[in-house]
Amino acid sequence: MANNLPLLSQLDFFESKIARLVVEVQVARARVLELEQENAVLSEKNSEHLQLIKQLQKKAEKEATVSPSFSKSTNFVKIVNNNRNDTETIAELKQKLTVYIDELDRCITYLGNLS
């Protein structure tokens, strides 16, 4: 029986070590599941960010193609410079502008009364 005592103590030691290893494996598996869930969330956010980047790039491309069309406004300066500068034409333009401004004021007043 004396010979069995060291074997029993070794057996107890191995049993406790196996129990600790089982707990460590369970903790590690839980951590793996947690990391997999976090990875899934981050992957989804990453794909959303990539879509947003693509949308912003498309928007930037559209804005870049629209910008040259605004160069037409420089043509107005040429048109005005080519027109006659006599006082009669200037008076007509001032009168038309006054009529347009009065019409805009009436529209603004009308819209203000609606709300």
Instruction: Using DSSP, state whether 85 is helix, strand or coil.
Output: coil
Residue 12: name the closest of 4, 2, 23, 3 by CA.
4
Same-domain status, 11 and 53: yes
Same-domain status, 89 and 70: no
The pTM (predicted TM-score) of the whole model is: 0.45
- The CA distance from 26 to 15, in Å, is 17
Same-domain status, 72 and 90: no
- The CA distance from 111 to 109, in Å, is 5
Same-domain status, 20 and 45: yes
C-alpha to C-alpha distances, 95 to 16, 39, 76, 113, nearest whole angstrom: 102, 70, 20, 27
Same-domain status, 58 and 97: no
Boundaries of domain holding 59 = 4-76
Same-domain status, 70 and 26: yes
Number of domains in the chain: 2
- The CA distance from 71 to 77, in Å, is 11
Residues of the chain with pLDDT under 50: 69-70
Same-domain status, 66 and 89: no
Q: Give me the pLDDT at residue 6, please.
A: 87
Same-domain status, 89 and 44: no
Burial 27-49 (b: 16+ CB within 10 A, else e): eeeeeeeeeeeeeeeeeeeeeee
